Amino acid sequence: MLSIIIPVYNEAESLRQLHAEIEATCREHSLAVEVLFVDDGSTDASWQVIRELAARDPRVKGLRFRRNFGKAAALSAGMGLAQGKYLCMMDADLQDDPQEVPKFLARLDEGYDVANGWKRRRHDPWHKVFPSRVFNKMVSWLTGLSLHDHNCGLKCFRREVAGEIRLYGELHRFIPVLAHARGFRVVELEVHHRARQFGHSKYGVRRFLRGFLDLLTVKFLTGFGQRPQHILGACGLLFFSLGGCGLIYLAILWLLTHLPPYLELDPIGNRPLLAYSAASLLLGGQLLSLGFIAELVVAYTGNDRRNYSIADSANLPTPPGPSA
């Protein structure tokens, strides 16, 4: 069975049409589905429409948040309730075409674990498209997963992927990256992106700043989550070494001015290098100390989540999934 997870925030006008398109696609391709609408604190009639659809179609399920908790929370809640072998995510604004879903499922049947959409031709204003392309290139460069559209709302993946990634904040845009870091195979498919028919976009300019900060978080979690001292300690040693070298240089100058033959040099107390070297030395020591503390936190609290991912087993019981 396929579970389609749809986060909803003030999209009452589009829900009936979206449900009709999903229903038509499933009927055409003989797909067994459940549709999970997660109302993320909508202030319009979205929840009333969801309840109406659920009363008419037993395949429709609805969940309503008390307030707006964000898209990542909505998707995480949907992933926790989904019963299908495959999970599909799409937006509720009708810009994602349900007719694309069978194509995604076909790629998963070929052995891929995550199928991510690529909106090659986007029906969005240029001030959203251009920064998005720059951001996608940056994500590909930093994470090693080369995709054209990391944040496409339409994506499908196996149930095992949902069990091994944790979404919070705004990490939903990095689902392919998080899955790739766990060893899952990711493929990208070009999709038909449609113009928005109702309402307006819920994201503004601040989204890109938050996205960059989230990217740094993902890079740290996927690269150094189990070994924080490798990054903090490396930076600490760099600053500690720079500060130490600066102070050694100044010490040599002080000796040259106080031991024969005496040299006429400016006092080291008048040199900016003294302040910079001392600050660098202190910063390096702080980073090293922070790295040791982070290692202690990982050592004593990180044992509830395994740092590997099992693909299969032979003559062994089914391995348990990782703790959430």
Residue 299: both structure tokens together: 């050592």
CA–CA separation, 247 vs 323, rounded Å?
A: 48
Whether 135 and 234 map to the same domain: the answer is no
The number of distinct structural domains making up the chain is 2
Q: In what helix (H) or strand (E) does residue 198 lie, and over which residues does it extend?
A: none
- The reply to whether 127 falls in a domain is yes
Whether 159 and 43 map to the same domain: the answer is yes
Q: Sign of dihedral through CA atoms 33, 34, 40, 41?
A: positive
Structural domain including 293 reads: 229-304
Which residues of the chain have a pLDDT value below 70? 123-127, 199-208, 302-324
Whether 79 and 209 map to the same domain: the answer is yes
CATH of the domain at 91: 3.90.550.10
**Maximum pairwise Cα distance, the chain:** 98
Whole-number pLDDT of residue 312: 62
Whether 211 and 247 map to the same domain: the answer is no
CA–CA separation, 140 vs 145, rounded Å?
A: 5
- The reply to whether 322 falls in a domain is no
Whether 164 and 109 map to the same domain: the answer is yes
Whole-number pLDDT of residue 324: 39
Whether 34 and 177 map to the same domain: the answer is yes
SS3 content of the chain, % helix, strand, coil (to 5): 55, 10, 35
- The reply to whether 314 falls in a domain is no
Structure letter (DSSP) for residue 118: E
Beta bridge partners of 158: 86
Whole-number pLDDT of residue 305: 61
Whether 174 and 41 map to the same domain: the answer is yes
Whole-number pLDDT of residue 32: 93
Whether 220 and 234 map to the same domain: the answer is no
Whole-number pLDDT of residue 316: 67
- pLDDT one-digit tens code per residue, 129-166: 777 888 888 888 888 888 988 888 899 999 999 988 88
Whether 251 and 164 map to the same domain: the answer is no
Last residue of a domain, one of 174, 207, 224: 224
- pLDDT one-digit tens code per residue, 7-35: 999 999 999 999 999 999 999 999 999 99
Last residue of a domain, one of 224, 259, 279: 224
